[in-house]
Structures are given as structure tokens and as C-alpha cells.
Amino acid sequence: MFKPSAIALLILLLAATAGQAWFPRLTEEMNITSRTAIIGHNLDYIVGPGETLMEIARRAGIGFDNLLRANPGINPWKPPVRQRLLLPKAVLAPDLIRPGITINLAELRLYLVWDEGGARKVRVYPVGIGREGWATPVGEYRVSVVIDNPDWTPPASLRLEKPELPGRVPPGPDNPLGSRWIGLTAEGVGIHGSNQPYGVGRRVSHGCIRLYPEDILDLAGRVKPGTPVRIVDQPVKQILLDGRLYLEVHRAVDMPARWDAPDRRWNPEVLDRVLEEARGIPVSIPPRR
């Protein structure tokens, strides 16, 4: 398990018991190199009175599903007071990550990568994506437009489902696009904020990619038309570094029926357990005994 320093952990625990927890967000800027195995660090958190996992995820700046998967067996609506939770802030980068935006549907995260001052940097944002029947499309795209305070015109297909919708929703608290719209070259698909932030980290949208209000402001200020956007669906991420295998497994809608390790050196019992649990956190796999 990856933990913060003792001082940082003490601050988190004291804040949690006071009901005013503060968390470093996933969107903290981090350097990555060819020697980087794990981006970020997991944190511990102690549940306070009356808290739910959805509220904790929102305040921590992580996705609800990510928090739920990382803490199996915990009642998301009534977690026990003083229950220790793992905040999943450590990640492996998706395969072939490169400058621009990479969205991994399986893990419900967006990666923004750029080069600066001779270093490669990354910011990681939790996202909400399309629900069943409205799947977010996989493919290679680009940013087509960035709009501040967008209007929302419900598409005809959605108005058939919900005829009570107006023809146009102006900017403001009732606009489901939030404060920014990042349009993509994928027809009808964009990255935007939300007036329902509890949908971030879940499969609830009509195909677009939702971010927390503060995250869309951060992302929109860092991209421009032409920025590459790659949308993938990679439930199993792995890296082999210095003779160690690191594995991160997510429970995707269509999990592969079988997954093969790079070779047969790794402990099969641990591999099977990590694949079955699919907790979405990086795990170092020991060698075969």
C-alpha cells in the first residue's frame, strides 16, 4: 500500500475527525519519465459521522466508482464511523500515453500530458462517461473548440427520451454542461463540466465526458483547438520495470475473458486475485515461488 508521510497522514486524520478534510487533488502536476512506474500516491482517510463515499469522493476530487472499488465491502451510503478508507490516487499510465488528452473509459480517468522545460508532465482528472446505450466512443480525435459558459441544446435523440426538455438551456446553474465545453471532432461528443457533480466517476452521461466544476476550469485553460484526444478502453494496465511487474485492474463493462502476464515468472495466485478483485489500484506482483 502506498501511503503519505506520517505528518501528512496525521493532518488528514485530524481533519477527517473534524469533518473538514482537505485532500491534495489528482490534478496536482506530476513529472513522468521512462522510469516512472506509479504516478501519485494513495492516501488513507478516516470516515467521520454522517459521511457517505459519494461525498468523500467529491471532496477528495476522485471518482465515486474508483473509491468504491478500492474499498470493497464498505457500505457506500453508511460507512462505519472511523472506518479507514483508501483514497485511490496512485495510478499506472495507460499504454502509449503521449502529449495531449488520453481518456481511459475502463478506469473513468482523463490524463492530460504535455512537455515543459525538458520534462514530461501529467495531470489526472476523474470523469463521468456514457451509460449503457449511450457509450462514449473509442477512437482518435482532436479538440475542435473551447467555449466558456456554453448554451446547451438538447439533441433530438435525447428530447425523444425526455420530451419535457426545453429547446435551449442558457448558461447558469441549470445548464448540465457546466461552465466550459471542450468540443471534440467526434460528432456530438465533448468534455464539459456539470451541474450534477456527483455523476463524476460514474457511467451516467449520454456519451459526453463530465468533469468536476473545478477540474473543467483547470483543463479548459490548458487545451486549445487541435489538441489530440485519444479515448481508449483499457481495463488492465501493466508496467514491467526493474524486474518487477505492476498491475492495475478495473472492472470494465466488457472484461477480457483472459489476460496473460508478460511471462510465466509471476505468482499465479496473486495474479488471479488481483484480476478477480479489480480494485483499480496499482499492485506489485511477486515472482513465482
What's CA 56's distance to the chain center, in Å? 15
Using an 8 Å Cβ cutoff, are 86 and 281 in contact? yes
Q: Which position among 41, 192, 206, 250 bears the catalytic label?
A: 192
Cβ-based neighbour number of residue 200 at 10 Å = 30
Residue spans of alpha helices (H) in the chain: 6-17, 53-60, 64-70, 156-161, 213-220, 268-277
Using an 8 Å Cβ cutoff, are 142 and 227 in contact? yes
Q: Is 41 a catalytic residue?
A: no
For residue 88, give the C-alpha cell: 485511490
Q: Which position among 41, 206, 208, 250 bears the catalytic label?
A: 208
Q: Which helix (H) or strand (E) holds 259?
A: none
For residue 51, give the C-alpha cell: 459521511
Q: Is 192 a catalytic residue?
A: yes
Using an 8 Å Cβ cutoff, are 75 and 265 in contact? no
What gap in Å lies between CA 149 and CA 37, rounded to an integer? 38
- Relative to beta strand 139-148, strand 180-184 is antiparallel
- Catalytic positions, written as ranges: 192, 208
